[in-house]
Structure 1
Amino acid sequence: MSMTDTIRAKLTEKFSPLQLEVIDESESHYGHSGWREGGETHFRVRIATRNFDGMSRVAQHRAIMAALDDELKAKVHALAIEVLPV
């Protein structure tokens, strides 16, 4: 399973999003810190979910980071998060 698919599966399971995009932006970071051959190092997540109702932006981001803790420790170097309105 690709890292994109892993991220999508974990966020879907944890947050039941109404909308979810997982974008591998690794190639646009070629030569930058954390980039590795084969990519799957830099991602952007766009998510809309009712699970974030009443949470601060910081709490939303922390929840996503916690859900992807293993991936962030192992392979993902950078994660941009955009929480969309529901």
Structure 2
Amino acid sequence: MFSVALARRVAGARIPAGLRTYVAPPSGLTDGERTIYNKLTEKFSPRELQVQDVSGGCGTFYQIIIASDTFKGLSTVKQHRMVNEVLKQEIQGIHGLQVV
């Protein structure tokens, strides 16, 4: 079963319009974590992004913490739908995704 935990992340300082930032992936990510990290970075230019396989390393449940100006003014449900759309392919092969 696929589930999404709804939570709101408090946004920090604004990034000037037109300025893309890149959050370098931390070392030691699994292939699945790195794929998700890169897709979300490309689409949302997040100020904060953490991707963790919380399934014990088998790649079936991921926790994502993301903060981006792209989400400003949008409901949490809309934000989660946007993340789900970007990760549509990956979601097909996993059991759960927690977006915070």
Structure 1 gap ranges (5+): 28-37
Give the equivalent residue in structure 2 for 1:4. 33
- Match of 1:14, as an amino acid? K
Structure 2 gap ranges (5+): 1-29
> TM-score scaled to structure 2, two decimals?
0.68
What's the RMSD between the two structures over aligned residues? 1.2
> TM-score scaled to structure 1, two decimals?
0.79
Q: Kindly indicate which of the two structures has a greater share of residues assigned to helix.
A: 1
Q: How many residues align?
A: 71
Superposed displacement of residue 76, structure 1: 1.8
- Tell which has more relative contact order, 1 or 2 (C-alpha 8 A, sep 6+): 2
Q: Kindly indicate which of the two structures has a greater share of residues assigned to strand.
A: 1
Percent of aligned positions with the same letter in both sequences? Answer: 41
Give the equivalent residue in structure 1 for 2:42. 13
Map 1:1-86; keep pairs closer than 5 Å: 2-27=31-56, 39-73=58-92, 75-82=93-100
Superposed displacement of residue 58, structure 1: 0.4
